[in-house]
Amino acid sequence: MIDKFFKPKNVAIIGASANRKKLGNNILVNFKKNFKGKIYPVNINEKEIEGLRCYDSVKDIKEKVDLAVVVVPAKIANIVVSECSECDVKAVIIISAGYRESGSDGIILENHLKAIIKKDNVRVVGPNCIGVLDTYSGVDTIFSPYERMERPKEGGISVISQSGAFGTAFIDWCAEHRIGINRFVSFGNRADVGECDLINFFSKDRKTDLIILYIEGPKNGRELMDALKNTTRKKPVIVLKAGKSDKGAAAAASHTGSLAGSYKIFSSAMKQCGATEAKTLDELFDFTKVLSKLEPAKGNRVAIVTNGGGYGVLSADACIYAGLELAELSHKSVTAIKKAMPEFAGVHNPLDLIGDATEERFRVALENCIKDKNVDIVVVFVWALGTTLDSGIAETIINIARKSKKPVICGGVGSDYTKDILLALENAGIPTFPTPLRAMKAAKILYDYGKIRKL
């Protein structure tokens, strides 16, 4: 039944509004953009909204409704859910806030909602959530207008978030970085559908090859571990835990009403289940980027290629810190690269191509590192400010990386000129990172998944 949230034939938007400042309008407008099925606005006060015939009640819709989106105030939302269930609607998304997170009356409302769900066998996402985005079907209950929040392109990542604000900001970030999303669910107060239902669903979902989970407090630790264990054998799951500290946990309790529990136990459970914990938001972004763009690595031996000596030193440190090894370049590679270098220049990993490096020097170094049987991953840090290296360096790296079966990861620091080069690399599918450490931590994730897949 979870399927109906993502691929409904039609949708009823209950609480649809003609007022463009209201969520009930924003959601309708966003559905109209990409949703392929029929849209039924429901509002007793209107005859027509945004050019669509408006219904007094979900009961007046002749066709069987697959998905209902509820945007009416909490005090009448439960009644609406009951009506949906009378019409055999099996999937309901309740955007409305004013439930458990808002105090004692809200708790009563939410308990009543749960009773309806149990009795009527309807599945509910929410309440107090931002709902669902499916880039393929066009289901889009995110009320943020397109001018404020880009929608990501179609892709293989499914995102599960207990926080709506965090989740939408994350997929807005994905859109900006051209990282494709399959499905997104913000489940808010989790009166019914929670992280386990969704992990199990995405585990079997052929279009999902990476799952992202933002969680404050799991509904049931044991169930979460089971769901993760089953899933991580097939596809990576990256988890960001919020509410790690006592103060954070207290904030989580008043945010989504969930119990954060002990972070230490959570963290070791994640390890046990084969899930990747992102300890910081930067890690979440970086791990998402690298896993969405590259295949896992077959080993942990990294070749570092740079034309900035300082970057070489920082990258070597970062490589060791991240738990990777510096590759011992083969004699053949060293000999070949030596030929392209000025006399007396040392050739060893990290490969310092020196400040006057040309594209040709990069080409020789990269091609040899990729060919070298002692190398599993290649990390390139470009110093673009030297005059011998023009912006064609991006094209050179792209052409070589495209043919490589080994992961090639890039980075650089600087303003517009450098950024344009990094952007060209990103647009060609090469992940770039702003610092050597972030590049190496991302490389480590590729190595970890290589181990899991027994490459």
Nearer to a copy of itself, 87 or 413 (CB): 413
Binding of a copy of itself by 350 (CB under 8 A): yes
Cβ 138 to a copy of itself, closest distance in Å?
Answer: 19
- Of 48-56, 80-88, 436-444, 445-453, the window that binds a copy of itself (rule: CB under 8 A) is 436-444
Q: Of 126, 102, 128, 130, give the one whose Cα is nearest residue 254.
A: 102
- Long-range pairs for 54-60 at CB < 8 Å and ≥24 separation? 54/16, 55/12, 57/83, 58/12, 58/14, 58/83, 58/84, 58/87, 58/89, 59/83, 59/86, 59/87
Tokens 């972004």: give the residue: 285
Nearer to a copy of itself, 145 or 392 (CB): 145
Cβ 263 to a copy of itself, closest distance in Å?
Answer: 9
383 — alpha (psi -120 to 50), left (phi > 0) or beta? Answer: beta
31 — alpha (psi -120 to 50), left (phi > 0) or beta? Answer: alpha
Cβ 363 to a copy of itself, closest distance in Å?
Answer: 20
Q: Phi, psi (5° rounding) for residue 41?
A: -70, 140
Nearer to a copy of itself, 84 or 437 (CB): 437
Other beta carbons less than 10 A from residue 84's beta carbon: 27
- Of 8-16, 84-92, 307-315, 424-432, the window that binds a copy of itself (rule: CB under 8 A) is 307-315
Cβ 303 to a copy of itself, closest distance in Å?
Answer: 12
Nearer to a copy of itself, 14 or 347 (CB): 347
Q: Write the DSSP assignment of 71-120 as a string of letters.
A: -S-HHHHHHHHHHHHHTT--EEEE----SGGG-HHHHHHHHHHHHHHHHH
Cα 248 from Cα 225, distance rounded (Å): 22
Contacts with a copy of itself: how many residues (CB under 8 A)?
88
Q: Report 309-338 residues binding a copy of itself (CB under 8 A).
A: 309-314, 316-317, 319-321, 326
The two tokens of residue 17 are 């509004």
92 — alpha (psi -120 to 50), left (phi > 0) or beta? Answer: beta
Q: Phi, psi (5° rounding) for residue 325?
A: -120, 150
Cβ 189 to a copy of itself, closest distance in Å?
Answer: 11
Contact 355, 308 (CB under 8 A): yes
Binds a copy of itself (CB under 8 A): choice among 8, 41, 431, 436: 436
Q: Report 129-188 residues binding a copy of itself (CB under 8 A).
A: 143-145, 147-150, 161-170, 172-173, 175-176
Nearer to a copy of itself, 178 or 298 (CB): 178
Helices (H), 273-354: 281-293, 309-321, 331-340
- Of 227-235, 308-316, 330-338, 363-371, the window that binds a copy of itself (rule: CB under 8 A) is 308-316
Q: Report 235-294 residues binding a copy of itself (CB under 8 A).
A: 242-248, 250-252, 254-256, 280-282
Nearer to a copy of itself, 23 or 89 (CB): 23
Cβ 322 to a copy of itself, closest distance in Å?
Answer: 11
Binds a copy of itself (CB under 8 A): choice among 49, 438, 447, 449: 438
- Long-range pairs for 246-253 at CB < 8 Å and ≥24 separation? 249/217, 252/216, 252/217
Element housing 263 (H / E): helix 263-272
- Of 57-65, 229-237, 350-358, 370-378, the window that binds a copy of itself (rule: CB under 8 A) is 350-358
Nearer to a copy of itself, 1 or 346 (CB): 346
Q: Report 383-422 residues binding a copy of itself (CB under 8 A).
A: 383-387, 412-418
Q: Of 430, 384, 381, give the one whose Cα is nearest residue 407.
A: 430
Tokens 């993760």: give the residue: 228
Cβ 153 to a copy of itself, closest distance in Å?
Answer: 13
Cβ 130 to a copy of itself, closest distance in Å?
Answer: 8
Cis link prior to 127 (omega < 30° from 0)? yes
Cβ 252 to a copy of itself, closest distance in Å?
Answer: 5
Q: Phi, psi (5° rounding) for residue 361?
A: -65, -40
Nearer to a copy of itself, 45 or 415 (CB): 415
Contact 157, 174 (CB under 8 A): yes
Cβ 380 to a copy of itself, closest distance in Å?
Answer: 14
Cβ 219 to a copy of itself, closest distance in Å?
Answer: 17
Cα angle 108, 55, 20 (rounded to 5 degrees) comes to 80
Q: Report 74-103 residues binding a copy of itself (CB under 8 A).
A: 97-98, 102-103
Task: Mark 37-66 with x for binding to a copy of itself (rule: CB under 8 A) and - for no binding.
Answer: ------------------------------
